[in-house]
Amino acid sequence: MAAIFSKSSDLILKVVGAVVGLGAVSGIAAFAYLSYPTVIDIGYQPEQPVAYSHKLHAGELGMNCFYCHSTVYRGAFAAIPGTETCMGCHSQVRPASPRLEKVRNSYETGEPIHWLKIHDLPDYVFFNHRAHIGAGVSCVTCHGRVDQMVEVRQEKPLNMAWCVDCHRNPAPNIRPAALVTQLDWVPEGDPAEIGRKIIEEKKLNPPTNCSGCHR
Ligand code: HEC
Ligand code: HEC
Ligand code: HEC
Ligand code: HEC
Ligand code: HEC
């Protein structure tokens, strides 16, 4: 090694390294700036306080999304279920499991579990689950196969272009509203054709004007 990297070439390497390094740093900065706060959120998957698994509960046990996220229908928010929902089963199922200790503590003290929020739009954007669910846009379109995720991660950019792309041409992503939580649903026939019929029936008209999403 010493024969190949003489002192002078070592110096050259350091200089080259520094220049490349600087380039990389400004490149990363530029990338971070250009993609903030959009692209960078894809794949965001924080570790949660309790090792709750959607793959187990929504996938293997087949629980419907609305069992825990019923408020997506009623309000603008798709709230995270309270500890009572968990204890409805876990007072009997695995009642002594150490992995459920924080759930039991929360139930006893009334102190909610501090789940970390994964999908998060800036406050200046107006978003409403109910309008989308009612129109027949499935959870899978915006969140991916949550029923196969042990830990939820963000799959879609949730940026403006992504919202507007669908608002301009929603048909391929519209299904009968009763099927929105059936993440593995496979349309029989052309999905855009199915969507177009529903759009006509329900007279859907997603906003593409600025004030539709920035009120
Ligand atoms: C047994 C209750 C339960 C069921 C059933 C359930 N969830 Fe969840 N969900 C949770 C809990 C608890 C969290 C918060 C912890 C986490 O992120 O894993 C959560 C978080 C989420 C998040 C991330 C929220 C954020 O912070 O951005 C999404 C998206 C989600 N669920 C979608 C679904 C979908 C889609 C289904 C149906 C396939 C479903 N959930 C079924 C309990 C449930
Ligand atoms: C409809 C019943 C039901 C509900 C509601 C439910 N679970 Fe579960 N949960 C189960 C079953 C069944 C298992 C699997 C138990 C086994 O493997 O023997 C399980 C397993 C778990 C485990 C793994 C336990 C271990 O020892 O490995 C955790 C953690 C967990 N659930 C958290 C939650 C949380 C948090 C909630 C509320 C958001 C919740 N569960 C709601 C039925 C439920
Ligand atoms: C049109 C896209 C879209 C559809 C369809 C959709 N979501 Fe969401 N979801 C979002 C966005 C965007 C956010 C972030 C909202 C925010 O930060 O205000 C979000 C946030 C969430 C959250 C976190 C809590 C909250 O309200 O911020 C949960 C839980 C959730 N969604 C569950 C679901 C479930 C369950 C379904 C299907 C029944 C579903 N979502 C359908 C786009 C969607
Ligand atoms: C996959 C398709 C799709 C995506 C992605 C999508 N939308 Fe929509 N959006 C719709 C449809 C369909 C409607 C329903 C139009 C109707 O009811 O006439 C709608 C309606 C709306 C409305 C009107 C709701 C009301 O209560 O007035 C707003 C605001 C909106 N979307 C914001 C957003 C934002 C913000 C995003 C991105 C974070 C987004 N949408 C992503 C399809 C989509
Ligand atoms: C369908 C919903 C929707 C419509 C319509 C829409 N926006 Fe946005 N807009 C968003 C979302 C979502 C974001 C947040 C982007 C992010 O977090 O990366 C955003 C972000 C922005 C920002 C912040 C800068 C940026 O790019 O991140 C500006 C400025 C903006 N929008 C202006 C407009 C203008 C002007 C129009 C009309 C021509 C418009 N928007 C129409 C959803 C929409």
**Segment 49-61, tens digit of pLDDT:** 999 999 999 999 9
Reported residue count of the chain is 215
- Which residue's CA is the nearest one to ligand 2's atom 11? 93
Q: Is the CB of 207 under 6 A from ligand 4?
A: yes
Q: In Å, how far from its chain's centre is CA 77?
A: 14
Nearest CA to ligand 3 atom 23: 78
**Contact 153/43 with Cβ under 8 angstroms?**
yes
Instruction: Please tell me the distance between residue 90's alpha carbon and the centre of ligand 3 in angstroms.
Output: 26
Ligand 4 touching residue 165 (CB < 6 A): no
- Say which amino acid occupies 178: A
Dist. CA 205–CA 63, nearest whole Å: 32
Distance 213 CA to ligand 5 centre (A): 7
Assess contact for 155 and 42: CB atoms under 8 A: yes
pLDDT digits (tens, 9 = 90+) for 171-195: 999 999 999 999 999 999 999 999 9
Give CA–CA dist 161/7, Å, rounded: 52
Distance CA 58, CA 16 (A): 52
Residue 196 Cβ < 6 Å to ligand 4: no
The whole-number average pLDDT for the span 107-126 is 94
Angstrom distance (rounded) from CA 192 to CA 75 = 28
For the CA of 215, the nearest ligand? 4
Q: What average pLDDT does the segment 192-212 reach?
A: 98
- Ligand 2 and 82: CB distance under 6 A: no
Residues with CB under 6 A from ligand 5: 37-38, 121-122, 125, 159-160, 163-164, 167, 207-208, 210, 212-214
Query: Amino acid identity of 31?
Result: F
Question: How far is the centre of ligand 3, averaged over its atoms, from the C-alpha of 78 (Å)?
Answer: 6
- Ligand 1, residue 67: give the atom nearest the CA: 5
For ligand 2, the distance from its centroid to the CA atom of residue 44, given in whole angstroms, is 23
Pairwise CA distance, residues 109 & 36, whole Å? 39
Task: List, for residues 140-163, the tens digit of each pLDDT value.
Answer: 999 999 999 999 999 999 999 999
Is it the case that residue 79 has pLDDT exceeding 50?
yes
Q: Is 172 exposed, middle or buried (0-12, 13-18, 19+ CB in 10 A)?
A: middle
Angle (CA) 197-142-48 rounded to 5° is: 155
